Amino acid sequence: MRPDRGLAGTSSLETLVYAGSYGLTPADGPAQPTGPVGSQPRGVAWPVRSGLIPPLADGFIARPETVPGLEAAVVPGAAVALVPGRAAESAPDRAGPSGKTQLAVGLAESVWQSRTVDLLAWVTATSRASILSGYAQAAAELGLDHGRDAESVAARFLSWLDGATRPWLVVLDDLRDAADLEGLWPAGPTGRVLITAADAEAVPGEHGVLVRAVPAFSIREALNYLSGRLTTDPDQRGGAIDLADALGCEPDALAQASAVIISSGIRCREYRDYIIRQQAQPAAGGGEPPAAGGLTWTVSARHAEELAPGMPTWRLLVLAALLDGHGIPGTVLTAPSACQYLAGEDAARPPDPQRAWSALLALERVGLVAVDAASVPPTVWVSAALQTAVRAVAPPELLDRAARAAADALVQAWPQHQPRSWLAAALRSCAVSLQRAAGDALWADDCPPLLLVAGQSLEAAGQAGPALAWWRELAADSQRLLGPAHPDTLAAGGRLAAALLAAGRADQAVTWYVWLHSSRASMLGPDHPATIAAQVSLGRALSAAGQPGEALAAVEEAAARSERACGPGDAGTVAAREEYAAALLAAGKTAEAIRLYKRLLADRERLHRPGHPGTVAVRLRLAGALLAAGKAKDAIAQHKTVLADREQALGPDHPDTLAARAALGAACDAAGQMGAALQLYQEACAGYERVFGDGHPGTLACRADLARAYAAAGQAGEAVMLLRGTIARSEQALSSGDPLTRSLRQALAEITGEMTAW
């Protein structure tokens, strides 16, 4: 799966970039929403459970001996971190997998089943991006995901936690870097925080976190665990104490061993003797013999092949070892590319998802993976220690084939929409894991499509910071592996420039766009659409960097070149001329901008239907320019047309229609037409409340605008009464510390003059 070549030596990757640079919109199709984002149900169904929690292991024990009083420590207002500890008995000098995540799962399920908490949010914390994704999912469950960027959604969620009267538990699983939680720490008097981390250094030190070491099982706990697992035939428990001792009482090793014992019918003593014999074998390369606890997974892998003869269990395990073991969507492991890889040398075998699923179930039976078949799609968990061990022994050629198959399978499984869903977040995490594990092996003659898809998904999820870091790394890798003149290198540079501009780093964006424009001009010529698109983007960046004169010159030249090369009706030419009009307005040449916007609007109306997204966008920009020029009545006329078009195309209660009605109210307000403004604001508020409910931020913000209009019309009493009711609703639906609540209080203070009232 490599991108096809596009126009004049550009790749499909680069074609996407310069099309996006022009801001092209489809000629037909539904209008793109510009109103409130993330409409939610009117109420929240309590209790709320968010995130994908790993399944509780068969035979799970609460471990009162080695981790006593854990549930008593996780009380309201407290934060507890579980980190690996050393065994109290049997191999006290070695700290293997200790089962800290399973303890967290056990506690989370306990407080959930007992209704101790009204909100349970499980958040994978391996990176800042994954934390933001987990917070966004919890915010959506609470009806709080109304922001366009993930950081603001996280801030709203954290503000809700801080002011919540309902009890809650947030679990941050597998935290690896304390810096990832900067500005994202969950706190509140009714809340509990539970962290699992690879080591104590990953735990933030400034929040009073109680760090608890989780060692391996004690001998008594190991025996209890084996007794709980081996219930069908009590004779299988013979030699259990010796087996536990031989495996260092490590939970993962005991889980794998007990799974093989159950499925094979042997006794603990026989399993232990086999492990001891394997340990006595000369180590490869003459090194130290492996610890007994590190051999159980190899026994399980061989037993899986015996349980499912002819099934690609080993190849599937290698593939899973490259992905994020905190939750691999099953659709990745059964995707066409994964099935073709699993077929191995039998290339003629058609893709068979059922064969892949059967192999996966065999791996589950021997304790190498956990599967939640009830989730949609089914989800697979693999321990990090097992993944590391598998990658260490897999042949390099097989790892490379698995990596390329995984990259293609992830793209095939990627959802087209809902970038903040757990599925998209899981796929992004899998892409990161694959990139780290495979490195340069993913690259061939072009940039892997997966890396583009993952970056675009980060942007669509509103994760500007992680997206910027992603594109920066991709641009560097592309230059190193493909060379600075490769089309995909130019495309990655364009993505990085756009991310820098979106992150408010306009000066850096200018530098990259200068390089991009120069490179495209030398490779493709100054009149190529990709070159012109780069010049338009450069103008936009120059304007953001406070260089309106340079921006105007760049965009004017780009629009002229596009018209000469492609014609006045070309979509790229139209987009460039619209950017030129925006540059005129930014440069203070309002009259010229208005004249150009009017010509552009006439062109749009001639080419497209009245409610076309491009036509509406130009009309709104014209209205803004008219308002800037003090021509409020003319602006009102344009806003009326937008409202009529949206009512006809989308209906009266569509978010875009509601936003258009509120915008018309603001224009009337600016023109001093207070009667019309009040009526429009009232209608917009009623619509927001009808569609989204009275606690939705869009509803609350519209009520604030109505209150300000009341005050401007001399109806201070109505304004104060409305704002006080709105503040009460905001505190209940969002929180007392939410930015919108604070802005409402400020508006009330401005009207009443009671600046210290809040």
Per-residue model confidence as pLDDT tens digits over 128-148:
999 999 999 999 999 887 767
Averaged pLDDT score across all residues of the chain: 89
In the predicted structure, residue 26 carries a pLDDT above the cut 80: no
Whether the bond into 350 is cis, omega within 30 of 0: no
Cα 446 to the chain's mean position, in Å? 25
Give the pLDDT confidence score for residue 287 in this predicted structure: 65
CB-neighbour burial class of residue 402 (10 A; exposed 0-12, middle 13-18, buried 19+):
buried
Q: What is the mean pLDDT of residues 321-335?
A: 97
Are 379 and 372 spatial neighbours (Cβ–Cβ below 8 Å)?
yes
User: For 605-644, how does the pLDDT look when each residue is reduced to its tens digit (9 = 90+)?
Assistant: 888 877 888 899 999 999 999 999 999 999 999 999 999 9
Report whether pLDDT(742) > 80: yes
Mind giving me the DSSP string for 189-218?
TTEEEEEEESSGGGS-SSS-PEEEEE-SPP
Candidates 53, 72, 47, 49; CA nearest to 62 is: 72
Measured over all CA atoms, what is the biggest interatomic distance in the chain, rounded to whole angstroms?
A: 92
How many C-beta neighbours within 10 Å does residue 33 have?
14
Q: Residue 125, Cα to own-chain centre: how many angstroms?
A: 12
Q: Which residues pair with 121 in a beta bridge?
A: 50, 170
Q: How many CB atoms lie within 10 A of CB 35?
A: 18
Residue 19 has pLDDT above 80, yes or no: no
pLDDT of residue 97: 64
Read out DSSP for 407-463?
HHHHHHH--SS-TTSHHHHHHHHHHHHHHHHHGGGG-SSS--HHHHHHHHHHHHTT-
Residue 148 pLDDT: 73
pLDDT higher than 90, residue 15: no
pLDDT at residue 609, as a whole number: 76
pLDDT for 41 equals: 39
What band does 367 get if pLDDT is binned at 50, 70 and 90?
very high
Nearest Cα to Cα of residue 13 among 561, 440, 652, 482: 482
pLDDT of residue 143: 87
The answer to whether the CB of 151 falls within 8 A of the CB of 426 is no
Provide the pLDDT confidence category of residue 39 given band limits of 50, 70 and 90.
very low
pLDDT at 286: 61
Q: Is residue 676 scored above 90 in pLDDT? A: yes
State yes or no: pLDDT of 51 exceeds 80. Answer: yes
| pTM of the shown model | 0.88
State both tokens at 602: 């006439």
pLDDT digit string, tens, across residues 197-241: 999 999 999 999 999 999 999 999 999 999 999 998 989 999 999
> 92 pLDDT exceeds 70?
no
Lowest mean pLDDT among 285-294, 299-308, 452-461, 592-601: 285-294
Residue 242: count other Cβ atoms within 10 Å of its Cβ. Answer: 15
Q: Which residue has the tokens 């003459």?
A: 286
Which residues, in sequence order, are bridge partners of residue 210? Answer: 80
How many other CB atoms sit within 10 Å of the CB of residue 160? 24
Counting every residue, how long is the chain?
758
Q: What is the rounded average pLDDT of the residues 51-73?
A: 94
Report the pLDDT value the prediction gives residue 270, as an integer from 0 to 100: 97
- Look at residue 10 and give its three-state secondary structure: coil
Pairing of the two strands 328-329 and 370-372: unpaired
Amino acid letter at 93? D
Statement: residue 755 has pLDDT above 60: no
* Phi, psi dihedrals of residue 100, rounded to the nearest 5°: -70, -35
- What one-letter code names the amino acid at 734? L
Query: Distance (Å, rounded) from C-alpha 703 to C-alpha 662?
Result: 10
- How far, in Å, CA of 748 to CA of 736, rounded? 15
pLDDT in tens, 545-582: 999 999 999 999 999 999 999 998 888 999 999 999 99
The residues, ordered by sequence, that sit 6+ positions from 222 with a Cβ below 8 Å of its Cβ are 240, 244, 247, 249, 254
pLDDT of residue 288: 73
Between strands 210-214 and 79-84, the pairing is parallel
Cα(407)–Cα(322) distance, integer angstroms: 10
Pairing of the two strands 119-124 and 79-84:
unpaired
> What's the pLDDT score for residue 98?
75
Q: Mind listing the pLDDT tens digit for each residue in 266-312?
A: 999 999 999 999 888 876 666 677 777 789 999 999 999 999 999 99
Beta strands in 11-88 (DSSP E): 48-50, 79-84
pLDDT at 40 (0 to 100):
40
DSSP 329: E
DSSP element (H, E) containing 399: helix 396-413
Judged by average pLDDT, the poorest of 16-25, 367-376, 542-551, 646-655 is 16-25
Q: What value does the CA radius of gyration of the chain take, rounded to a whole number of Å?
A: 30
How far is residue 450's CA from residue 458's CA, in Å, rounded to a whole number?
12
Q: How confident is the model at residue 18 (pLDDT cuts 50, 70, 90)?
A: very low
Say which DSSP state 445 is in.
S
pLDDT of residue 22 exceeding 70: no
3-state secondary structure of 592: helix
| Sign of the alpha-carbon torsion through 624, 628, 632, 633 | negative
Produce one character per residue of 642-677: b if its CB has 16 or more CB atoms within 10 Å, e if not.
bbebbbebbeeebbbbbbbbbbbbbbbbebebbebb
Structure tokens that stand for 321 in this block: 């070892």
Residue 95 in this model has a pLDDT that exceeds 90: no
Structure tokens at 633: 């009545």
Residues 6+ apart with CB under 8 A from 601: 615, 618, 619, 622
Nearest-angstrom CA–CA distance, 494 and 516: 7
pLDDT given for residue 517 in this prediction: 97
Q: Are 559 and 577 in contact (CB under 8 A)?
A: yes
Which residues, 6 or more positions from 373, have their beta carbon under 8 angstroms from its beta carbon? none
Percent of the chain with pLDDT over 70: 91
> Which candidate, 400, 176, 433, 426, places its Cα nearest to that of 322?
433
User: Using omega within 30 degrees of 0 as the cis cutoff, is the peptide bond preceding 84 cis?
Assistant: no
Categorize the per-residue pLDDT at 660 as very low, low, confident or very high, splitting at 50, 70 and 90: very high
Q: Is residue 228 within 8 Å of residue 98, measured between CB atoms?
A: no
- The Cα–Cα gap between 54 and 379 comes to 9
pLDDT band at 381 (very low <50, low <70, confident <90, very high): very high
pLDDT of residue 306: 95
CA 252 – CA 293 distance, rounded (Å): 8
Burial of 715 (0-12, 13-18, 19+ CB in 10 A): middle
Alpha helix positions (H), 587-673: 590-607, 613-628, 632-650, 655-670
Express as a percent the part of the chain with pLDDT over 90. Answer: 80
Q: Are 684 and 661 spatial neighbours (Cβ–Cβ below 8 Å)?
A: yes
Cα→Cα distances 76→149, 282, 732, Å:
30, 54, 20
Q: What is the pLDDT of residue 736?
A: 85
